[in-house]
């Protein structure tokens, strides 16, 4: 991600940001601005520091470009895109089927940004490996990976062009 990332927050609301690249940070009343070095492939992760939702793994994928490069899915637990010739037993999201894989479950989240507490409170019957809306719509999804980690995917629909971002939170136990 290159360019400028901005987030607003209320007074007294603490945020935690993580970035795997060079950046300049400006802090104004009620706004934090990160200007990301365009020469560095970067991912910005912002979480609410008051909730204890500490990201452990984060990454992104673009299904259109990934499939053109021979990629068929992603192991969210290791942030690794996989080719058909790779060992795909750890694959959590299958680009070709547009679904969770190997026991990974998804839940469409419609109440703002997902949190660890919110995702862990979703009843078991509300999770599925497939959500047909993913074929045409953007959306935010809670995810439980095949390794049992909770996180979320800010998903760009398969019929759209763009980067889907994901975060897995640190295990609570």
| pLDDT band at 48; cut points 50, 70, 90 | low
pLDDT of amino acid 44: 53
CA angle 149-153-154, nearest 5°?
A: 160
Helix (H), strand (E) at residue 152: strand 150-155
**pLDDT tens-place string over residues 81-106:** 999 899 999 999 998 888 999 999 99
Residue 52 backbone class (left: φ over 0; alpha: ψ -120 to 50; beta: rest): left
Mean pLDDT to the nearest integer, 112-130: 90
Mean pLDDT to the nearest integer, 43-68: 69
Lowest mean pLDDT among 11-15, 16-20, 59-63, 134-138: 11-15
| pLDDT band at 54; cut points 50, 70, 90 | confident
Kindly tell me if the per-residue pLDDT of 77 is higher than 70.
yes
- 52 or 98, higher pLDDT: 98
Summary mean pLDDT of the chain: 77
Here the contacts of 28-32 (C-beta below 8 Å, separation 24 or greater) are 31/6, 31/7, 32/6, 32/7
Residue extents of the structural domains in the chain? 1-50, 54-173
Kindly tell me if the per-residue pLDDT of 165 is higher than 60.
yes
């Amino acid at each position: 991600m290159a360019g400028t990332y901005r987030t607003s927050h209320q007074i007294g609301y603490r945020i935690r940001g993580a970035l795997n690249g060079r950046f300049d940070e400006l802090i104004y009343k009620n706004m934090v601005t990160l200007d990301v070095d365009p020469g560095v492939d970067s991912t910005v992760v912002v979480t609410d520091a008051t909730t204890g939702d500490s990201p452990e793994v984060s990454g992104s994928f673009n299904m259109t470009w990934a499939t053109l490069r021979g990629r068929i899915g992603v192991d969210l637990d290791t942030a690794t895109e996989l080719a058909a010739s790779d060992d795909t037993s750890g694959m959590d999201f299958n680009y070709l089927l547009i679904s969770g894989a190997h026991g990974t479950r998804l839940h469409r989240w419609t109440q703002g940004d997902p949190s660890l507490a919110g995702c862990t409170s979703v009843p078991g019957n509300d999770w599925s490996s497939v959500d047909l809306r993913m074929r045409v719509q953007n959306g935010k999804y809670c995810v439980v990976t095949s390794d049992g980690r909770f996180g979320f995917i800010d998903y760009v629909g398969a019929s759209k062009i763009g980067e889907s971002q994901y975060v897995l939170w640190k295990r609570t136990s």
